[in-house]
């Protein structure tokens, strides 16, 4: 006899249940694969964008370390210092044949383009010349990768920058001790927020670098004292030897001012001297000037002359 159970097979309901289970398993597998692929693509794009930003910061750091001015000791290397716009002079790597630009200086600008989709591009613009003096004409009223305003070379330095789209906005460039005056800037820090999908996970990555401007002439520091010469009557000793130039050069000028006057004393002039004064209470100020014509002024306090 033949086993009747063995000839029955699967019922329609069993077949439908099996198909449903297989469908769920296949859909779950496909969903997992799609999610994995999407995450992999997002991570790849994020890594590429972050690598581009890191290379840009490395290049910016190198250019800032090679700050240059057309004239010795003149602090004219940084020309514009704003939170999202930086213009400076640096040394170019390759000097064209026949160029009379002795130091092979070029002008470089980093600025942030318009925001689109919650992010923007960091634009790098450059201007080179083969004559003695740099061309004065360039514009910073707009920032676009299409190029304009006297900049002969414009390119996107980094994509997916969200500094200007963040709330609150995060400055890209920070200056020490401050952005003004540009001749006093001694260090620059750059911070890029990079996010390929603003508003979604993962969050923006912060990349930053800082550079001490070793080639930037800094403002001198004025310091003075005005003691009375004991036993000499009304003579006051003017001593400005405490004044220093941060770069270690000799200061080229010392001017002394008496009682708030805007006209310096004709005598003495120099780091030290003697003032033959009159009785009463007098105040003194000292102004010093460095080799790049940067000045600093300080009060020496008041002295009572008998």
CATH number at residue 280: 2.60.40.10
Q: Is the model's pLDDT at 5 over the cut of 70?
A: no
Mean pLDDT of 232-255: 88
For the record, the structure tokens of 159 come out as 């994509």
Q: Is the model's pLDDT at 257 over the cut of 60?
A: yes
Question: What percent of the chain lies above the pLDDT cut of 70?
Answer: 92
Check whether residue 158 and residue 299 sit in a common domain.
Answer: no
Distance, in Å, from the CA atom of 118 to the CA atom of 160, rounded to the nearest integer, reads 9
Task: Choose the final residue of a domain: 178, 212, 246.
Answer: 212
Check whether residue 78 and residue 132 sit in a common domain.
Answer: yes
Distance, in Å, from the CA atom of 170 to the CA atom of 163, rounded to the nearest integer, reads 5
**pLDDT category, 93, cuts 50, 70, 90?**
confident
Expressed as residue numbers, the domain containing 132 is 44-212
Within a domain: 67: yes
Task: Choose the final residue of a domain: 212, 244, 264.
Answer: 212
Check whether residue 141 and residue 252 sit in a common domain.
Answer: no
Mean pLDDT of 98-123: 93
Check whether residue 289 and residue 173 sit in a common domain.
Answer: no
Check whether residue 117 and residue 85 sit in a common domain.
Answer: yes
Check whether residue 87 and residue 205 sit in a common domain.
Answer: yes
For the record, the structure tokens of 297 come out as 């002024």
Q: Is the model's pLDDT at 49 over the cut of 70?
A: yes
Distance, in Å, from the CA atom of 8 to the CA atom of 67, rounded to the nearest integer, reads 89
Distance, in Å, from the CA atom of 289 to the CA atom of 250, rounded to the nearest integer, reads 10
Task: Choose the final residue of a domain: 145, 179, 212.
Answer: 212
Are 89 and 67 within 8 A, CB to CB?
A: yes
DSSP annotation string for 226-287: -PBPTTSSSEEEEE-TT-B-TT-PPP-EEEEEETT-SS--SS--SSEEEEE--SEEEEEEEE
Total structural domains within the chain: 2
Q: Name the average pLDDT for the chain.
A: 87
- Exposure string (b/e) for 10-34, b if CB count within 10 Å is 16 or more? eeeeeeeeeeeeeeeeeeeeeeeee
Greatest mean pLDDT among 5-19, 59-73, 114-128 lies in: 114-128
Mean pLDDT of 150-163: 93
Angle at 248 (CA atoms; ends 246, 254), nearest 5 degrees: 80
**10-15 contacts, C-beta under 8 A, 24 or more apart:** none
Helix (H, G, I), strand (E, B) or coil at 45: helix
Q: In terms of pLDDT, which residue wins out, 10 or 87?
A: 87
| pTM flag (> 0.85) | no
State residue 174's pLDDT score: 97
Mean pLDDT of 112-134: 92
Q: Tally Cβ neighbours within 10 Å of residue 146.
A: 8
Check whether residue 166 and residue 204 sit in a common domain.
Answer: yes
**pLDDT category, 232, cuts 50, 70, 90?**
low
State residue 21's pLDDT score: 87
State residue 6's pLDDT score: 55
Mean pLDDT of 107-134: 93
Check whether residue 244 and residue 162 sit in a common domain.
Answer: no
């Amino acid at each position: 006899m033949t086993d009747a159970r063995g000839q029955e097979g699967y019922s329609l309901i069993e077949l439908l249940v099996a198909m449903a289970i297989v469908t769920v398993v296949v859909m779950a597998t496909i969903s997992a694969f799609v999610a994995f692929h999407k995450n992999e693509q997002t991570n790849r794009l994020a890594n590429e964008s972050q690598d581009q930003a890191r290379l840009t910061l490395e290049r910016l750091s190198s250019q800032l370390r090679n700050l240059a001015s057309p004239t010795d000791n003149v602090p004219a290397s940084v020309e514009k210092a704003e939170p999202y716009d930086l213009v400076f002079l640096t040394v170019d790597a390759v000097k064209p044949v026949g160029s009379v630009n002795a130091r092979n200086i070029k002008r470089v600008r980093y600025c942030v383009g318009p925001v689109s989709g919650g992010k923007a591009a960091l634009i790098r613009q450059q201007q080179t010349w083969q004559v003695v003096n740099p061309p004065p004409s360039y514009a910073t009223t707009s920032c676009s990768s299409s190029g304009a305003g006297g900049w002969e070379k414009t390119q996107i330095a980094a994509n997916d920058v969200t500094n200007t789209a963040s709330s609150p906005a995060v400055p890209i460039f920070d200056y020490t001790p401050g952005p003004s005056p540009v001749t006093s800037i001694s260090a620059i820090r750059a911070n890029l927020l990079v996010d390929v999908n603003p508003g979604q996970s993962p969050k923006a990555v912060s990349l930053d670098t800082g550079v001490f401007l070793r080639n930037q002439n800094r403002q001198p520091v004025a310091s003075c004292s005005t003691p009375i010469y004991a036993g000499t009557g009304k003579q006051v000793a003017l001593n400005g030897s405490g004044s220093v130039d941060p770069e270690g050069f000799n200061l080229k000028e010392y001017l002394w001012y008496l009682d708030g006057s805007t006209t310096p004393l004709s005598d003495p002039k120099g780091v030290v001297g003697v003032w033959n004064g009159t009785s009463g209470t007098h105040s003194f100020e000292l102004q010093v000037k460095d080799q790049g014509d940067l000045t600093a002024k300080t009060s020496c306090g008041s002295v009572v002359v008998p």
